Amino acid sequence: MTLIDWAIANTTDLLISLAIIVISVAVAKLFAMLIRRRMHGNYSESLTKMAEKFVYYLVVLIGLTAAIGNLGVNLTSVLVAGGFLGIVLGLAAQSSVSNLIAGLLLIVDRPFNIGDSVVYGTDNATVVDIGLMSTKVSTWEGVQMRIPNNSLFTSSLYNYTKSVARMMRVQFYLRDGEELGKVVSAINSRLAERWYVLVEPAPQTFALSFSDYGVTVEARAWTAGTTWNELYFTMPQIVNETLKGMGVEFAYPKRTLVDERAGRNRKARG
């Protein structure tokens, strides 16, 4: 008996199985929708999506099992055959399983939520979706990136949204002989004037080290997590304008070259 003959002989059962699958998909969608409505706003977005997907696939799996059973296929033998197949697939799907477990752990641990600003590797991004196997982020350049959950779980990830306040630092070089004290107080007061720079901790500017360039100076200012962009985009400009207003020049790298033939020293900028 060919497959076509079998299908013709079992048309009714085939149609019933097909109906079971269609109904189970519809019921799965309904259940997922009910879960989304019930959980939305009460639980995190990521947990809601995870629960939604879990219920959806569970109902579809039950429907598929029922549909196969309806066709007279012995599920026990399928499961026995599936056992061997499971070992083969299990070996092949090791990374998928580790991604799945990592996904569940991410849900429990909650190092980030949907909408959080994160840095993964060298990429600044916003979390778009947390799935069972992978997490989707949208980089600042607008590119969507899919990261396997296992990689996320085992590597460093910076979450900027979790911080209520953040510090920004700007380093620059001052020539020897510039009045450091005046520069420090001018930059501190210019930073303190900005509404988004926190009063406490107050802005700090100080000599950090000495280098070939002169004195390395660092300016630090704190801002609320929600006003980070204001500080990030303006602080270097504030430092620059303050120094220019005072007539102070940045130091540039200096090297002293000795011209032995001429028997004199020449200074060069580079």
Q: Which residues bind other proteins (CB under 8 A)?
A: 162-167, 195-196, 198-201, 222, 224-227
* Smallest gap from residue 163 Cβ to other proteins (A): 5
* Smallest gap from residue 224 Cβ to other proteins (A): 4
Strands, sheet with 165-174, edge to edge from the N-terminal-most edge strand = 165-174, 214-224, 204-211
Return the residue matching tokens 């696939």.
57
* Smallest gap from residue 110 Cβ to other proteins (A): 14
* Smallest gap from residue 203 Cβ to other proteins (A): 12
Asked if residue 270 lies in contact with residue 257, where contact means CB atoms within 8 angstroms, the answer is: no
Calculate Rg over the CA atoms of the chain. Answer: 32
CB-wise, 231 or 243, nearer to other proteins? 231
CB-wise, 20 or 168, nearer to other proteins? 168
CB-wise, 161 or 216, nearer to other proteins? 161
Instruction: State how far the Cα of 91 lies from the Cα of 81, in Å rounded to an integer.
Output: 16
* Smallest gap from residue 192 Cβ to other proteins (A): 9
Read off the tokens for 207: 């000599």
Cα torsion through 72, 73, 77, 78, rounded to 10 = -150
CB-wise, 65 or 227, nearer to other proteins? 227
CB-wise, 29 or 194, nearer to other proteins? 194
| 109 three-state secondary structure | helix
